[in-house]
Structure 1
Amino acid sequence: MADALKIGIAGLGTVGAALARIIQQRGDELAATCGRPIRIVAVSARDRTKDRGVDLSGVEWFDGPVDLAHKADIDVFVELIGGSEGAANASVRAALARGLHVVTANKALLAYHGVEFAEIAEEKGTLLNFEAAVAGGIPVIKALRESLTGNTISRVYGIMNGTCNYILTRMEKEGLSFADCLKEAQRLGYAEADPAFDIEGNDTAHKLAILTTLAFGHRIAADDIHLEGITNISIEDIRAASELGYRIKLLGVAQRTDTGIEQRVHPTMVPLDSVIAQVDGVTNAVAIESDILGELLMVGPGAGGNATASSVLGDIADIAKSQPGAQRVPVLGHPAKQLKPYQKAQMRLHSGGYFIRLTVQDRTGVFASVAGRMAENNISLESIVQRSKQHLSPSDHQTIILVTHATKEDSVRKAVAAIQTEGYLVGEPQVIRIERPKED
């Protein structure tokens, strides 16, 4: 049997501790599967005295991850710190420069430095693996990077943030407000004390940016994503969606268009009978549409110690099985230096149906005015409903809900902007895209 693969782990939080525990518990099985033992020989963490449920007595400790990357006698540097800058950035950069293989679960790091790090890894002939960075335990990176070679991918989309999916699920199933669901998510550890990164869509955007590059061969463009979070989704929106035959999910969507690559993160109404609508709680789902395979949908745990550690371990096992000097799969699916410049699509040309909710003053002519503004912008309405007063407070307000046929986003935004100038609108309008099944 070949010599042991020596691992250094930077970060012993929930994922790092789970990874160490699995490697220790399943050492014999891993050695048989990989053809060589996998050994943790070095770690770095803030607190050496903390009980993590794993025996690290024979492991070398380093004060910081950069020291670990520079000095440890290891073959693979595993970064589980998080963040796009600071220690995570410096330690991964040091490990790659040294010629070490790197495994990371850090989507923010890759979203902003992935192309640069891929270039270094490919120059050094080392592996940079990051399956756990997107959708936790779902093997979507391997699918895009390896399994779908030869396919032309037209769209990648999915539920990529468990916190948002949990909140939207609880709002629908239990009739709770957004604020109450967020508070419960924080209590259960599904949401951070400061949840903005998740609920405003940034976490999903980082993951989507990575998938976009793998799917389409363009440089990562994390700052060129149309971004909407879920903070303004009300229980009224949830109920209206259900009545119309839809469920609201926060989706990340990347697709080819005639004007470039479109990347967007936003709440979306999906049909109740669609598979993705059935993905509840903290579960993630990623769909890939391609010319040869058609549509591939992968569903699984999107976060958590074991799920993420499983993906990290899979990346380590791939390194253990690799042969020195063998041809490497490009880090981002395409050689880093050959990635095309990112060309952002014109978001305003996005076509599809829309749900529009307006709270208006209860006075004569409002209903006709709203319909008129839609007609002026060539928007065909599938339905227009005026809610009864008994559902509303105060009683001098009414809610109008419109569902459009396929139309252009620019038209919808112009119509809503025109309505806002009329003087009868109360509060902010709500506009949510509708994803309908593709026609055969």
Structure 2
Amino acid sequence: MKSEITIGLLGLGVVGGGVATILHEHQDDLNHKLGVPVKIKKVLVKDATKKRDTYLAQEMFTTDLDELIEDPSIDLIVEVIGGATEAKQAIERALRAGKGVVTANKDVMAESGLELLKLADENKCDLFYEASVGGGIPLIRTLEDGLASDRITALTGIVNGTTNFILTKMKLEKKSYEEALAEATELGFAEADPSADVDGIDAARKMAILASLAFSTDVHLDNVFVRGMDVIQEGDLELAEQFGYTVKMAGSAKKDEDGIEISVEPVFIRNAHPLASVNNEFNAVYVYGDAVGETMFYGPGAGSLPTATSVTGDIIAACRNLLLGVNGRRVHAPQHSCKAKSDDQIIGRYFHRISVKDKVGVLTHLSSIYSNHGASLATVVQPEGNQNGGVDLVMITHQISRQQHKDIMQALQNVPEVNKVVSYYRVEGENK
């Protein structure tokens, strides 16, 4: 039996530093759980001569990936360098060398996860990726193990801490988008370039990973319908509150006999739903299973130590497999092909905010457009005051298809009395 397990760490940034800290400070606990010590032997960095505030000895740093991949004494590679191309190549090299890999890389796993999992299977080694989604929330392991006996039908949740922090500040503290983003950047919740977060791409990658696992299929990023935060208009959050909703940047993945639908977009969530009260940088995901019913997983979605905790959890799992000699024995081939629903199969309720000319008969005309497209209205309200160069009308539909919604939006463009469609949102949190 091995007397210790040694790790090659790729990257010592925010997450990598957190992993090194946990491995160092929790060594007695890890030794107790595994029966052997777990130690970092080499760390790949961009500048090996840079002075760092760490317990790691200077000679442990290298800029040469070969020193980690080709070292037979290194049992496990932990990839936390981020990015796509370089990280993917490093993971591939490690797996081909027969070394297990733990990664926190959502970009790589969303775009090439199935390919890399197959490579791990072929080389009889493990590939764990818990920290790629949800920071410190154990979502991947729950779907792979805890709910493995159930049939998952839907996932709905908040999987990006940056956008949730911004929307929380905008709602509760009445800050502008720019002010909320600046605070998120100052606190380290937003990157210098926040576009991947606010455009919805970060959340879309995470939903692709979760949906692939939950539905045992191969979901790609282009299977995810994405709308960013730029569609949120001034006054929308106040209108949502007026009607009993909260605006959240939410991900949704659903599967039924017609296929799979996956989206990331700002939505109206009923205030009574638990997701509406998930604030600041926290994440939460609702999982719907045939047997278990509804379960919710909540916790910090970002940060050095929360994410590093998930990475270290994967390290422990990989170490156990190594010690038991069962590494690389999981089958990762998808059970089903990814059959995406068409727009006329995707059903939901919609909130429409429309600026119209203040003329007699406009409401009757607009109502007829909805009726002509087979859409019934649950709510029609004209809020007080003139806005957007006219009068705002609010229409909340009953269940309609995304195609009906798109057709109505197109029809409204051609109505002389309509100044513009100010905004629209899917309404969530009232049913699956």
Aligned to 2:385: 389
Match of 1:88 in 2: 87
Give the superposition deviation at 1:427: 4.2
Question: 1:172 touches 1:235 (CA, 8 Å); kept in 2?
Answer: no
Residues 1:61 and 2:61 aligned together: yes
Whole-Å separation in 1 of the counterparts to 2:105 and 2:5 = 22
Tell me, yes or no, if the aligned pair for 1:36 and 1:320 is still in contact at 8 Å. Answer: no
TM (norm. structure 1) is 0.93
> Contact 1:42–1:72 (CA<8 Å) still a contact in 2?
no
Equivalence for 2:281: 282
Question: Whole-Å Cα distance in 2 between the matches of residues 64 and 99 of structure 1?
Answer: 19
Q: 2:363 and 2:306 mapped to 1: Cα distance?
A: 51
Percent identity reads 33
Partner of 1:212: 211
Residue 428 of structure 1, CA deviation = 4.3
Give the corresponding residue for 1:270: 269
Distance 1:48 1:338 in 2: 41
Correspondences of 1:181-196 after superposition (within 5 Å): 181-196=180-195
Alignment CA distance shift 1:303-1:436 (3 Å):
closer
CA offset digits 1:12-40 (Å, max 9, x no partner): 00111111111111211210112210101
Deviation of the 1:77 alpha carbon: 0.4
Q: Contact 1:2/1:35 (CA < 8 Å) preserved in 2?
A: no
Shift of 1:388: 2.3
1:92-139 per-position Cα deviation (integer Å, ceiling 9, x unaligned)? 111000000100000110111111111111122211011100000000
Counterpart of 2:33? Answer: 33
Q: Secondary structure at the match of 1:189?
A: coil
Q: Shift of the alpha carbon at 1:73?
A: 3.4
Q: Could you list the runs of 5+ residues in structure 1 that have no partner in the other structure?
A: none
Aligned to 2:430: 437
Kindly state the Cα deviation for residue 186 of structure 1 after the two structures are TM-superposed.
Answer: 2.1
Change (3 A) 1:72 1:47: farther
Aligned to 1:411: 404
Please name the residue that 1:141 is paired with: 140
Q: How does 1:193-272 map to 2 (within 5 A)?
A: 193-272=192-271
- Tell me which stretches of 4 or more aligned residues in structure 1 moved more than 4 Å: 49-52
Greater mean alpha carbon deviation, residues 293-302 or residues 372-381: 372-381
Cα distance in 2 for partners of 1:399, 1:289 equals: 37
Number of matched pairs: 431
Q: TM-score, normalised by structure 2?
A: 0.95
Q: Deviations over 1:364-416 (max 9, x none)?
A: 332222212111112111111112226x36xx411111111222222222112
Encode CA deviations 1:310-368: one digit per residue, 9 max, x unaligned: 000000011222244327563xxxx3345433211113322221111112233333222
**Equivalent position amino acid for 1:21 in 2:** T
- Judge conservation of contact 1:259–1:346 (CA < 8 Å) in 2: no
CA distance in 1, matches of 2:258, 2:153: 14
Question: Which segment is superposed worse, 321-330 or 251-260?
Answer: 321-330
The residue aligned with 1:366 is 362
Aligned residue for 1:135, secondary structure, equals coil
Measure the CA separation in 2 of the matches of 1:312 and 1:66: 23
Q: CA RMSD in A?
A: 1.9
SS at match of 2:229: coil
**Counterpart-to-counterpart distance in 1, 2:138 and 2:334:** 25
Against the structure 1 CA distance between its residues 65 and 372, is the aligned structure 2 distance closer, same or farther, given a 3 Å change threshold? farther
Task: Say whether the 8 Å CA contact 1:386–1:401 is kept in structure 2.
Answer: yes
C-alpha distance in structure 2 between counterparts of 1:429 and 1:410, whole Å: 19
Question: Contact 2:355 / 2:419 at 8 angstroms: preserved in 1?
Answer: yes
